[in-house]
Amino acid sequence: MFRKQNAPREARHSRASKKDEVWRARLPAAWRALADPPLELRRYRDEELAAERMVGYDADGNACYTAHRFCIVEPRSDDDETFYAVVTYGEELAAWRLIDERWLIWRRIRTEESPEDARGFYSLSEEIPR
């Protein structure tokens, strides 16, 4: 389903300098000292769906960061002639493994009923979110 995105060496190097910005994007400043920073980030994209996943790994090869985003789109029509796309469900997630092995999770869910009112929220978990 997801395919690893390959990039030329120069592009990977330029992205590596932005690695800290990427994995810290939704991490609250008060929690930064408690999160295990990834040494490597791998990005996966689904070519047919509007979906993307990123996983960060520590020195032992264990996941210490994960993020994903996807949306489900359906065609709609008001007159059965002109169709337009409507996001019926969308989700963004970022999660960081903390030094005590818990996961801090940020999630935002969009539904057809609340497309613009979606607000992110934080939670803690004993397991990596899937």
Over the stretch 6-17, which tens digit does the pLDDT of each residue have?
A: 444 344 444 445
Per-residue pLDDT reduced to its tens digit, 48-105: 778 999 999 999 999 999 999 998 888 888 888 899 888 888 899 999 999 999 999 9
Closest CA to 64 of 104, 93, 13: 104
The parent domain of residue 66 ranges over 3-125
Q: Produce one character per residue of 104-127: b if its CB has 16 or more CB atoms within 10 Å, e if not.
A: bbbbeebeeeeeeeeeeeeeeeee
The pTM (predicted TM-score) of the whole model is: 0.76
| Cα 55 to Cα 1: distance, rounded to the nearest angstrom | 15
Structural domain count of the chain? 1
Confidence of residue 19 (pLDDT cuts 50, 70, 90): low
Indicate whether 87 belongs to any domain: yes
